[in-house]
Each structure stands twice: as C-alpha cells, then as structure tokens.
Amino acid sequence: MVVLVEVKSSMVHLNNNGYEGVVIAINPSVPEDEQLIQSIKEMVTQASTYLFEATKRRFYFRNVSILVPMTWKSKSEYLTPKRESYEHINAYIIVADPHLKYGDDPYTLQYGQCGDRGHYIHFTPNFLLADNLSTYGPRGRVFVHEWAHLRWGVFDEYNTDRPFYMSGKNTIEATRCSTDISGRNVVHQCQGGSCITRKCRRDSKTGLYEPKCTFIPNKSQTAKDSIMFMQSLDSVVEFCTEKTHNREAPNLQNKMCNRKSTWDIIKESADFQSASPMKGTAAPPPPTFSLLKSRQRVVCLVLDKSGSMDSIKKIWGTHLSRLTRMKQAAELYLIQIIERESLVGMVTFDSTATIQNHLIRMTNENSYLQISAKLPQRADGGTSICSGLRAGFQAITSSNQSTSGSEIILLTDGEDNQISSCFEEVKDSGAIIHTIALGPDAVRELETLANITGGLQLFANEDLNDLIDAFSGISSRSGSITQQALQLESKALTIPGKKLINGTVLVDSTVGNDTFFVITWTTQKPEIILQDPKGKKYTTSDFRSDDKLNIYSVRLRIPGIAETGTWTYTLSNKNGNSQLLTVTVTTRARSPTKLPVIATAHMSRNTAQYPSPMIVYARVSQGFLPVLGANVTAIIEAEDGHRVTMELWDNGAGADTLKNDGIYSRYFTEYHGNGRYSLKVNAQARKNITKVNLKQPNKSLYIPGYIENDQIILNPPKPEVPEATETATMEDFSRLTSGGSFTVSGAPPGGNHTPAFPPSKVIDLDAEFKGDHLHLAWTAPGNVLDKGRAHKYIIRMSRHFRDLQEDFNNNTLVNTCGLIPKEAGSKENFEFIPETLKIENGTKLYIGIQATNEARLVSEVSNIAQAVKFIPPQEPSIPDLGTKMPTPSLTIFVFVATLFIF
C-alpha cells in the first residue's frame, strides 16, 4: 500500500484540545459589511460546540482570526496581522464571491489522498448572510462538515452522480451513511402549473431508479450519523464509525479510503493521537476572535554576496557567475513581479551585512531602479546568514514598519554552521522568510527558516533561468488577482555562433497589463526583433538595460495593454561562438472584471524518504472554476542537473483523486540522488479541447427537501448549470509557475535503483452487462505506479461484495489471456461472458482488478464495481403521494449513473 501524508507548515495547532491559529480571510473584492463578520463569529461559535460533541469531547475552536481586506475602513479594533495573509497556506478558510452566477455551495479544495489535509474552505458572502437553514442546515454544522475535509482528509458520503445503488440484500438504496437515515425515493414533476410527486420507477437499463428520482430524508430521525452525509438533520451529531459505516455505498469516502469509515480516518490523524477527551466540562469555552486588517506588502531582499557567489559556472562555452545570475533575477523581481505600492528594501551580506536600501514605496519605475542600482557588484568574504536576517529586520523597523507580517526573501549559495543561532529570533520576529537555495552547496537548514515562518522554499540550480523562475514564484499574497504577476514564458535557447532563432509567445485576452519581455545572454547582447499580433515591431534599441549593473540583460515593457494573440521574436547571435539566451515574459490581469487563467503547483510533501513516492499537483483555474483538458507538464530537477519531464493528468485515476476538477496530478518516483529538487509546471491550452468547468465539483450537499408529518416539503429549486453549458471552451493560453522545492534523503546516487513500486491502484473500474456479456472499463495503471505499461491484469468476480473485499484471491478468476495492458493513462475496455457463474434476471456481480509488473509487484485491489443483469417487468401506474410545495414550478433533477463504484 502506498502511504502519502501531506506535511505543511501551518499556524493551526492544537493546544489542550483547542484549535488555535485558525484564519478566516475575506477576499479584497468583497464589499465591506459588518454583518459578515458577525455571521462568521456566530458560525464558528456554533461549530465549536458541534465539533466538540462530534469528536467525543476532543476538539473545539479556541481562537480564530478574521482577516479583513485593506480596502475596508480602518477601525480601532482591527489589529495588524502577523503571518496571516489571504494567499498564505494559513488562511484555511476564505470568504470570496463564487465568480459564477450558479449557487453558493460551500466546498473544500481537497485533492490529496485519504487522510491528507485539504487546502482551504471557500464560503461565499451570500452563504454567510442569506437564510440557508433549510437547504444546507445550520452554518456551524456545515463548517464542521467542511473542517473534516480540510483537517483530516475525509470525503463525502453522498454522491450526486450516483445517488442509488443495489445493496447486497438486493434492495435499491440511496447512497448514504449510515443506512439508518430514513426517507423516501420520489420523482417530483411540474408541468403547466400542475405538480405531482410519485414513486420512482426502475430504469430499464440499470435496474436502479430512473434518473429523476431523488432521496428525500425524514426531518425527524433517530440516526446519529453521519456528518459527512447530511449534517443538516437534527439527530446527526456523529461521524460514521466502523459499526455504522456503509461500505457498499458508491461514494468518494469508500473509493479513496479503502471503505474505511470517516471516524476511523479521523482516529488515525495526528490531531486525534495527541488529544484525549476533555473531562469535567459540560461544554468547551466559546471561541475568542481577533479582527485583523491587511496592510501594504513589506518585502526585504536579503542577498548573499559572499565569495562563493563569484563561483563561475561554465554554460555553453561561456562563464557566468552566480552573482550575475542573482542580479538578473533580482532585477526582474523588482521591476516585474513585486506589486505597486509595496514597501521594498534590500540587504546584502557576506560575513557581515549592509543595508543597501531602507524601505522604498514602489510607486513607479524609478522606485524599482533606485533599489536595483544597489545590487552588489563584487562577491567576497564569508557567509553569515543570521547577520543578513538581522539587518533585514533593521531595514524594516527603521522605516517605522513592524517585522511581524513582513516578508524577507533570503538567497544564499553557501554553508553557514551558525544559521540555527537565530532561529528563535526569527520565530519571534513574526516575519515570513522565503528561502532560495542557489546551487547544491547552500546550507541544509535553509528550509527550516521557511518552514517555521510559513514561507516558500525554492531551489535554483546552475541553469540560467532557474533563478529567474524561482523569484517569479514569490508573487502577491493579497488575494487581489490584478496584483499578481503571471509568467507566460521562460525559455533557455542555445544559439550557435552567427545564427538566429525564432519563437512565439501567446498573450491571451485575460492578461496583457504591465507586460514585460526580458532577454538575457551569456556573452554578447543579441539582435532582437519582437513583433506583436498586429505587425508592430520592436527592435534591440527599444529594450532597456542597466549597463552599470553588468547583468547581461535587457527588458521591454509593452506600453498600455499588450495585444491579444501570438507575439513572435527573432534572436540573432552576433558572436562567433554558441551562447545561451533566455526569454522571460511576465504580465498581469487585463482588468479586475475579467479573471485570468492561473496555474499553481506543489509537491505532496516538502521532504521525501526513499523509496516513498511523492505526488506532483498542479491546479489550473479561472477564478475558482477548474480548467479542463489543458496540457500540463511538470519539470523536476535534481541538484546534479538531472531533469524529469512528465505530463500531469486530470483523469481521476492513479494519483488523481477526481476527474475533471482542474487538478492535474502524477506520481513521482524517479529520484536521482539525495538533496534538493525543484519543481516547475507549464500549462497550455489544447486548441478546441480546453474548457472551463462551470460546475464546482466536491461541494456541500444541497438538501432537496424533507418529509415532515408525512408530507414532502421541498426546498426552493437550486439554480443549475444547464447540461449544454456545463463547460465553456477556452481560448489558447500559456502559463508557467514555480512549485517550490523539496528534499530527498536515502536515495541511491545517480538514479541507480530498481523499481520499488507496483502499478498504481485502479480507482475507476466500471462494469455493466451488455446482453450476456459483462463489459469492464478502467484507466490503465503503469509498470511503476502510473508510468509505463503493466505486465498483466488479474480480474476476479463474486456474487458477494464482502467476499471480494475481504478475500480477493479466493474468488472466481476471469480468463484474461488475451488482455494486454496498454500504456498508463490509456482507456482499457474488456468484455467477457461470465460462464462459470449462472446469469439470470436479477443476477448481481462484483468485480475487482489488480495489475502486476515484470518485477512481480502487485497493485492494491481496485475499487469494487457492481453490475446487475436486469430485465424490467411491466409496471402498473402508481398513485401520487401528498406533497406540500413552496412553488408550482419546481423540478428536481438528479442524474443516476448506470454503473457503480465502491
């Protein structure tokens, strides 16, 4: 079994059963509303008591910070944030508009494996302010449902795509946990002002209920579980346990957690292991709240100029020092990445430190040039990182700013055995430290500074554009999309002597503001011709450079808004020898009203111990909407320069949790020795294929109605995205992003290791009868997890779900001698007649699959698929049921899948 545990720094922690450091951050686009803060307080207070009861007196919320935007008016009760920010991983809960006219469903961005923490909970202002009691239940209960996703990595126990299944007792059941929750399965239809409610009929193809059938729960219940199914019911105050868990239900909890109950997963969490039930207290103390107001961004560059920075790397016959490459990247960051109105300072250090610039407000290009002019020209001396950090703090405080909540970008390539001497001082400062390790010799404790302060950790190898990409990854954290710099291109090009090279850059219609083209070289400035989509040309003389800095770099800022379409460039090498050139293009959102496509990336963990695998994640979105069908590529580079390039998939197989959620994933196992690895991701649209998904996956359940006093009381209809417009085609785009760095230990040098991993588990097996044939479909795993081609498949079937689940190897083996596995990620289809079992009307079969590789390593057993042989009888007409309705024009649509996944 592959075990993956996501490890992240976080201010959220348990202190004597109480959660502290929880941050609820309000997006800058949300208008000021005092009632919103009051509603948040009421929700959390209600959630705290409910959480305490649900976890058997183990957890509650002790203190919560509410972060309001900088755009709101200042008030005496608003405090200055410390390490809290909207984009920070500590902003566990965000309040933001949905950027879509359909619905306000709360949801958790959760795409890790079972037990992995999610990324954030998203509430909309409308959800927090409107009367949602009948459709979602009390807000505090909804919060606990989402908190379980976020904190403990459990999944939903309902399934709106597969709302019914055939149980082992040959009864049709609603997908739920536990099965003790009672209700009716009905179809409600309205036509011409007349509405009827009737019993559900069975579908002639599946034997289940017809697609319009929905489960309406009884308002009054005796069942106490489960919060991950329908927390809105008054009786539901617990999570499903091993005794009450419904293992048969085709829901994501069973699929992702090997049919374990939510309470079993919670019990395995670090929170549970460190907390015993509280004694002697009827209820926990109410949460305390702090109101914080975002402030202008404060950043100080702390740059290494010690002797090792004069180290020269021979690149394509040219010598270029680390100091020069640092200056190239730092200038780009100052001029192109850091947002306007930020306060920025700079410190350089060797064995001692010097404040080159106290904080300067970035109001125009001259402000940026004022700082970049002080970039160091010489490198010598030793390395004292703590001296650099202390000088950074001084540069901030001497400008009447607090170190608390300020950011420091620390770059170093050297060793320093005294670095730990200032760890406590750094903790106490409240500053966020982003670390950039340049080259293989940077001190190993560098990442600790990032981890203890919630900063980013980045690694740049000796390649020319690695450092530029690392700096580009440290962008705005305010939540304001217009402030965030986006990278469209970052390319290194080798040009032979006296030759030229052509290239293109795509500027889509969502971006184009503040667009920069930057060219760097290693020997001699090339001749440059840049042409916009309408034919306007820019030449070398249009590109600016700072000759005094001697940084082998020129830049062009496109006036106004860059033209939409394909830009072309020609670079001519006038030198007789080959040289390496880089092309970097950055831009910002075209307007505040049109959201750009964003790509973000990270690894499943910051550290890996061989032979544990990791997962690469990339999220491609427009606002909060997933972008589907993009071509997403990850580039992972080890310290020795070895690169692995891999395509990431959003296919709901292998490492990917959900299909079509805009999260592209893949296992990574190709370790090439110990040390630091960097991650970069390139996301591009595929012409006429890439779409934006207008339906938010993995959201809270919208309750269609209740049965009360034997009457069906329906809620108002939920706005639905019409089937024909569930997705919208995207124009072409291109994005690059840094995913930070991670460290590996225990790996053999040079990648000399035999595969230690079996094929990945099949998690999307489908089965259905087609006449007398049983048709199976699934996504092919690989030879090593999701890479390569498996050696063979083992398929077994049984009439009984539990037999296949508990003793797979002793069930009926299917003849697969003609089934040759395809390449990982391909769609597999296999049909056979189950001759060894008697098949008749009503026959129900369960099927599972394993894959093996040539090393005879065997995958986990797949999800268990169910197929039912069903010949529908003639059904008599069914009388209507009594119904109480709030509106005469109400139709409930719930789509039933024809297949089952457990």
- Annotated catalytic residues are 146
Sign (positive/negative) of CA torsion 628, 94, 477, 75?
A: positive
Beta strands in 116-205 (DSSP E): 120-123, 164-166, 172-174, 183-191, 194-199
Indicate the helix (H) or strand (E) that contains 866.
strand 865-868
Compute the chain's Rg from CA coordinates. Answer: 29
Tokens linked to 359: 């904080």
SS3 state of residue 526: coil
Tell me which residue of 351, 306, 303 sits closest to 327, measured CA to CA: 303
Strand partners, 189: 196
Q: Would you list the DSSP string of 668-701?
A: E----SSEEEEEEEEEEPPTTT-EEESS-SSB--
Tell me which residue of 859, 789, 797, 799 sits closest to 820, measured CA to CA: 789
Beta strands in 401-485 (DSSP E): 407-412, 432-438, 457-460
Packing angle of the helix pair 139-152, 34-54 (nearest 10 deg): 70
- Residue 808 to residues 215, 657, 797, 861, 864: CA-CA distances in angstroms? 33, 24, 9, 8, 10
Whole-angstrom Cα distance, residue 276 to residue 101? Answer: 44
- Residue 279 to residues 236, 288, 299: CA-CA distances in angstroms? 23, 21, 46
> What does DSSP say about strands 844-852 and 792-798: parallel, antiparallel, or unpaired?
antiparallel
Whole-angstrom Cα distance, residue 892 to residue 135? Answer: 14
Whole-angstrom Cα distance, residue 288 to residue 895? Answer: 43
Whole-angstrom Cα distance, residue 490 to residue 502? Answer: 15
Tokens linked to 387: 């001296």
SS3 state of residue 463: coil
- Residue 37 to residues 30, 50, 106, 128, 477: CA-CA distances in angstroms? 12, 20, 17, 9, 21
Instruction: For Cα atoms 342, 347, 353, give the angle at the middle one, nearest 5 degrees.
Output: 160
For residue 809, count CB atoms less than 10 angstroms from its CB and return exposed for 0-12, middle for 13-18, buried for 19 or more.
Answer: exposed
CB atoms within 10 A of CB 235: 16
Using the CB atoms, write b or e for 499-532: b if 16+ within 10 Å.
eebeeebbbbebbbebbbbbbbbbbebbebbbbb
